[in-house]
Structure 1
Amino acid sequence: MIFEQIATGGCQSYLIGCNESSGAALIDPEISQIDHYIALAARDGLRIRYVIDTHTHADHFSATRQLARQLGVPVVMHRASSAPFVDMRIGDGEMIIVGKLRLHAIHTPGHTRDSMCLRVEDRLFTGDTLLIGATGRTDLPTGDPEALFDSLFHRILRLDADVKVFPAHDYKGRRNSTIGQELATNPRLQTRERAAFAEMMRNLDLSMPTHITEALRTNMSGGKSVAQLLAEAAARVPFMSLEELRARIQAAEDDLIVLDVREREAYESGHIPGARVLPRGQLELRVNQELPDPTRRVLTCCELGYVSTLAASTLREIGFLHTVALDGGMKAWREAGYPVKVGREPQ
């Protein structure tokens, strides 16, 4: 078996491949690592055949849907998943075949209703059901501490002690453990009575994941995160540096329209000299009035550079093909010591 473990902060993804067939499966991929996964597979001579999520993630953005579209392969999840984009729904005891490899699904509800572990030879990919020195939390949507107890003590902890445990998360740089090690040393597994275990889980008082609302929304629906929208917009837009824009203003060039897409109050508190204001929220409705000539070169700017990137992408999509975005925003412009004008520009 060809095996790659990819860490993204505390998130762990796994690329497993068959030496003979060169087929592979990718488990719990994270959105920022898409190019890395594809490069690893190419380096190892593998073709990814399946992208798999062990459960609906609440603490990172899954890459399964985007990778599935890009590679033309199915998204695999447990049949309890509500995500509409899942192509292959599998149940307890079923398996996925990748060349000579057999990926056996074990339904392990508790962290989420759709949680499953995958057994591949001597390895168990546990998602968030069993972590190194901990377990998955049960206070997120569809979590159930009694179900987690059953999944742990009646299912996966009955596997051989030397089975290697590879979780979907670890924030301490640990790569793997074993069933035996977790039974012996995992603090949460020392409570082996069902009611006491459930009580312990209900009183953990854990902080919520940073992006929980957005992560659940995108991972359950297949929608896009704000970061994805920004990345896609940035891929369609050229940029101009602060220094280049400053030089053009000093040279009094008049072939460039600087379009400030912040709200008027922010614009009037300080803007790039000569800039016009057209708030992003009104862009599509007022663009024909404000920018009647689509052949003009337009540079968008905002406070931090994010909204202006989205605005520039929108302008290009509707026909302003010479639009660019400022690399940075008014914050960077001010910090560079470049001139700022307060109030309105003369009409």
Structure 2
Amino acid sequence: MFRFAIVLTLVVILAGAPAAVANVPLLQHRVLGYLTFLPEDYKSISPADVKARLDANDLPFVVDVREREEFAQGHIAGAVNIPIRTLAANLSRLPSSRSAEIVTICPSGFRSAQVTMALTLLGYTNVKTMVLGMREWNARGFPIVR
């Protein structure tokens, strides 16, 4: 599922990029580099690992890319809500260091995988998606705040 999300994201990025864009070779270079050098974990982190980090007060910067209404129904303590469609307008809300540890979250991992790829292509070097998203977090009974 996670691989499919990454491939689908790549197709959308390449198919939706206007031919007139001057940086198409740069985009292609970055996308190919991203896919070629994907780590063994496919830039993912499990809900259990996120929970362990929360319990240890060592939580990375958590970006919840769900819509505001979804976020309001319950989210991980300390998460920052930046809906996926507003990411470009809210880059200033991300850590200023491109090497800061960031975890992206959504209901299933699909939207967050897209954001993980986008942030990586923008130069962020330590971004991961929480696999299976908030559905798995909630299924395990992990804490949420409203």
What TM-score do the two structures reach when normalised by structure 2? 0.71
Give matches, 1:90-239, under 5 Å: 228-230=7-9, 236=38, 237-239=42-44
- Taking the aligned partners of 1:330 and 1:265, their CA distance within structure 2 comes to 14
Match of 1:121 in 2: none
Match of 1:292 in 2: 96
Q: Which has the higher helix share?
A: 2
1:245 aligns with 2:50: yes
Identity %, equivalent residues: 26
Match of 1:274 in 2: 78
Conserved? CA contact 1:309–1:325, under 8 Å: yes
Conserved? CA contact 1:241–1:326, under 8 Å: yes
Give matches, 1:260-339, under 5 Å: 260-339=64-143
Structure 2 runs not aligned, ≥5 long: 12-30
- Taking the aligned partners of 2:138 and 2:5, their CA distance within structure 1 comes to 26
**1:231: Cα distance to partner?**
7.5
| Cα distance change, pair 227–324 in 1 and its aligned pair in 2 (3 A) | closer
Conserved? CA contact 2:64–2:82, under 8 Å: yes
Aligned length: 117
- Taking the aligned partners of 2:66 and 2:57, their CA distance within structure 1 comes to 23
- Taking the aligned partners of 1:333 and 1:241, their CA distance within structure 2 comes to 9
Cα displacement string for residues 239-273 of structure 1 (whole angstroms, at most 9, x for unaligned residues): 1011111100000115x101100111111110011
| Cα distance change, pair 333–315 in 1 and its aligned pair in 2 (3 A) | same
SS state at 1:319 partner: coil
| Cα distance change, pair 238–228 in 1 and its aligned pair in 2 (3 A) | closer
- Taking the aligned partners of 1:274 and 1:247, their CA distance within structure 2 comes to 14
- Taking the aligned partners of 1:248 and 1:226, their CA distance within structure 2 comes to 25
**1:284: Cα distance to partner?**
1.8
Conserved? CA contact 2:5–2:113, under 8 Å: no
- RMSD of equivalent CA atoms: 2.4
Cα displacement string for residues 53-80 of structure 1 (whole angstroms, at most 9, x for unaligned residues): xxxxxxxxxxxxxxxxxxxxxxxxxxxx
**1:315: Cα distance to partner?**
0.4
Conserved? CA contact 1:301–1:329, under 8 Å: yes
| Cα distance change, pair 259–289 in 1 and its aligned pair in 2 (3 A) | closer
Greater length-normalized contact order (CA 8 Å, ≥ 6 residues apart): 2
| Cα distance change, pair 241–229 in 1 and its aligned pair in 2 (3 A) | same
**1:305: Cα distance to partner?**
0.7
**1:230: Cα distance to partner?**
4.4
Q: Which has the larger radius of gyration?
A: 1
| Cα distance change, pair 336–319 in 1 and its aligned pair in 2 (3 A) | same
Q: Which has the higher strand share?
A: 1
Conserved? CA contact 1:315–1:323, under 8 Å: yes
- Taking the aligned partners of 2:97 and 2:54, their CA distance within structure 1 comes to 21
